[in-house]
Structures are given as C-alpha cells and as structure tokens.
Amino acid sequence: MQFELTRKYIEDLKEAIVRNDEIALIELLQDLHPADLGEILGELDVVESTVVYKVLDADRASDVLTFMEEDRRDKFLASLSSREIAEQLIDNLDSDDAADMLNLFSQEQKEEIISMIEDRQQAQDIVDLLHYEEGTAGSLMAKELIKVNINWTVSNSVREMRKQAESIEHVYTVYVVDDEGCLVGRLPIKRLLLTPLKTRIADIYDSKIRSVGVDEDQEDIASMMEKYDLVALPVVDELGRLQGRITIDDVVDIIKEEAERDYALASGISGDVDSSDTVYRLTRARLPWLLIGLIGGVLGARVIELYEGDLQLYPEMAFFIPLIAAMGGNAGVQSSAIIVQGLANKSMGMSGILPKLGKEFMVGLLNGIVCAALILLYNIAFGDSLDLSYTVSAALLSVIVIATLFGTFVPLLLDKYDIDPALATGPFITTVNDVLGLFIYFMIGHLLYI
C-alpha cells in the first residue's frame, strides 16, 4: 500500500506536463500523500514542479512543502508573494509547521506574512511559537490540542471537544486543565465513552500525566518519549499552564537525526549532508576531517624520520608500518563507538570510569593476543627473522591494548566536560592511534630487534 516511484511514472508525468494536460495530471497525482509528492517533485526541474504544484489542492499544496528538499523548497518560496504564502500556505499548516516555515524568512518578511494570515487564532499561535528557542520543547510543540476544564460535565466537554477537534488531525489525548489553564491530568477516551453525560470531569479524569516545560531540550524529550513509549507529550509553561503538545512523529525525526549524526561523525562527515547535496557542500563537510588525517600523517612522518637510520639498516621494519597504524586505528574506533552508543542510549549504568577501562583492557588484551599470535605464526611461517617477528607481535599487542583504552577514555572524558563524545570517534581517534602506534612500534623495535 506504499506508493512506489518508478521511471515510468515520472515519464508519464513529464509527458502530461509537456502536453499541459491538467486532467491527466490530476489523475496521476490523486490520492498521493504529500510525502510522495515531495519525492516526485525532487525528480522534476523547477519549471515542471511549478506546473505540478499548481494543480494540487490547498491542503496538499501546503503540506508538500514540509516534505520537500530544502534547496527546492527555498526556491519555491522565493517565487511566491507574501500574500500567497500567508493565504495559501500558512493558513493550512499546523501551527508548528507554519512556525518552522516562517523561520526561513527575514524578520521583515516574517512580520509581513503574519499580518496577512486570515485566521487570527492561527496567527497568534504562530507568534507564540516563534518566541521559543530552537531545539526546545516550545519550538517543537504544536498549539493544536484538545483540552477540557476539570469543572465541566461530560456533555459540556463533548460539545467543546467537537469545536476543538475541527482543527486537529489526530486526537491522541484529551487534556484536563483547571480554571487557570494549568494541566492537571488527562481524560482517557474510553472513560468518556463509558460515563453518563452529567458526570463531572473531576470525577473521571486521570491525574497521572507526564509533561515537560517549554524550555526542555529536544533530545531529552526524544529520549523520554522513547523510553516511556509516549505518543504525545503535553508542554507547560513555568506556571504549569498547558501550552501545546509534542507528537511522536516529530520525535521520530529527532531520534533518527541524532543516530545519523553520530554515524556521520564517526565516518568523518560533519553537518547534515546527503548524496543529493552539491559538490561544494559535500566537499566542505569532509575536508576538515581529511585535514585532521593529514596532520596525523605529517606527525607520523616525523616519528618515522626519527628512525631513518634504522630503516636504512633494517628496511624490513617498514613492511609492518601500515599494519601497526591501521590496527591501532581500528581497535580505537571500536571502543569509542561502544562508549558513544552507550552514552547516547543512557545504557552505561552507574559504574565509574575505572571499571569500564578495566573491562575494555580485558577486551583489548584478548583481541591483541589473538592478533599478535596470528601475525607471529604468519611471520615465522613466511621466513621473516625471528626478532622482527617478535617485535611486530609485541608492538601489535601493545598497540591494540593502548588504542582500546584510549578509545574508551577519550569519549568518557569529553562527555564529562559536556563535549559531544561522538566527535572523538572516527578520524580523530584513528589519527591519534596511528601516530601512537608508530612510536610504540619503533620503540619496541629498538628494544627487541635493532
């Protein structure tokens, strides 16, 4: 039951656009979800998109913008007048999406658009939302919700709920407030179904309800909704007055973005880029991490230079330089990834840094012994000198253990000082461990071999 975008479909659509065949277009686009439409527009050029856009009904025409790629959407918005934006788009969006969209404009244009919104309640809601700082509960919530007063009767409440429900797509929860507008609980829909109309809400509402303050951080909200399996979360101001609600679909995006951000950082990509971005943006997101690698490489060159004389006498020492450097990097990245994910999931338990280092020491030791033994067998079997074989294995074991400890320690340290531990994975850890590994290798070489 999911729409699948095919080449055939896009060709049909383009043909209909060329023929300017409005009836064919409407038929092709009918019943498609705005998310699908956003995907389709991504395959068309700007002129074609405009033709498609014009035949959409008002609701989808505004919703599709929230599903479009940024660059494309910005071009679109730039081609519309403030009045068109206010009347055709903002009026039809939920307050939170409308506020997000308004934030794309300059202060001046923002005010102009707001002054042209016909639905004054919507305009007020949007202005309220614009006050909250980005990344807080306030900026994430929508003002649309259903609330009843604790002093009302069921029949009163049902009448009021009908009015409120008109502007709402999903009724997740009916909130109960007191005369000051403070959140006091929720009214389960099933109790509403089960109770005589004269019953007072005070007698049937459920006072157990979780809420967050308007200033709460969005990542904390995401982890809270995930932990407690919440689909909607009410937001209250400093006085406890109900201000809005956050729904799970907004939070799914945050959870996903967070996980993707850690992944991107671990792979040496900063910022939120994807393969459809421009060459310039893609390059800019990657270059800083390559430069870190470059600095590491230069430091590595300096380390080896210290042992230039030895290399001249024992060039076979050079054979295992990449092995030692790579294994340090790999082992370090593994440990730091475990820690970063543990911190992100709050699944680290309450033990301190030392027990964690102790455990990772054991893991590093086991992995190191296996790898060192294998490489020793290989070297002996393929006739390298015994001394060189011992050197390589001893260095490999040391490097794996030290890199493992280092990869554990750095993200824990960063987290302690409230720096994002994900910064420590990927190129940074690899690079430091590369250089460290070379030092260890040549030092052990001096002891055992040279």
Closest distance between a second copy and the C-beta of residue 422, in Å?
10
By CB under 8 A, tell whether 386 contacts a second copy: no
Residue 54's Cβ-side half-sphere holds a number of Cα atoms within 13 Å equal to: 13
Angstrom distance (rounded) from CA 445 to CA 317: 8
Angstrom distance (rounded) from CA 217 to CA 133: 10
Angstrom distance (rounded) from CA 308 to CA 314: 10
By CB under 8 A, tell whether 26 contacts a second copy: no
Binding mask 2-21 for a second copy (x = CB under 8 A): x--x-x--x-----------
By CB under 8 A, tell whether 155 contacts a second copy: no
Angstrom distance (rounded) from CA 442 to CA 311: 10
By CB under 8 A, tell whether 370 contacts a second copy: yes
Closest distance between a second copy and the C-beta of residue 149, in Å?
17
Closest distance between a second copy and the C-beta of residue 82, in Å?
28
What tokens were used for 324?
Answer: 């030692």
Phi, psi (rounded to 5 degrees) for 346 = 50, 40
Q: How many CB atoms lie within 10 A of CB 78?
A: 9
Angstrom distance (rounded) from CA 262 to CA 256: 10
- Of 109 and 330, which CB lies nearer to a second copy in the complex structure? 330
Angstrom distance (rounded) from CA 62 to CA 56: 9
**17-25, 129-137, 281-289, 442-450 -> range binding a second copy (CB under 8 A):** 281-289
Spatial contact of 153 and 130, defined as CB atoms under 8 Å apart: no
By CB under 8 A, tell whether 362 contacts a second copy: yes
Selection from 350, 359, 441, 352 nearest residue 407 by Cα: 359
Closest distance between a second copy and the C-beta of residue 200, in Å?
19
Q: Which of residues 178-237 bind a second copy (CB under 8 A)?
A: 189-190, 193-194, 208, 210-212, 220, 224, 226-229, 231
Count the residues of the shown chain that bind a second copy, applying the rule CB under 8 A.
122
Closest distance between a second copy and the C-beta of residue 427, in Å?
6
Closest distance between a second copy and the C-beta of residue 127, in Å?
25
By CB under 8 A, tell whether 378 contacts a second copy: yes
Q: Which of residues 119-148 bind a second copy (CB under 8 A)?
A: none
- Of 122 and 336, which CB lies nearer to a second copy in the complex structure? 336
Angstrom distance (rounded) from CA 316 to CA 388: 8
Spatial contact of 333 and 426, defined as CB atoms under 8 Å apart: yes
Q: Which of residues 235-274 bind a second copy (CB under 8 A)?
A: 247-249, 252, 255-256, 259-260, 262-264, 266-269, 273-274
The only residue of 321, 401, 405, 432 in contact with a second copy, by rule CB under 8 A: 321
By CB under 8 A, tell whether 330 contacts a second copy: yes
Angstrom distance (rounded) from CA 102 to CA 128: 13
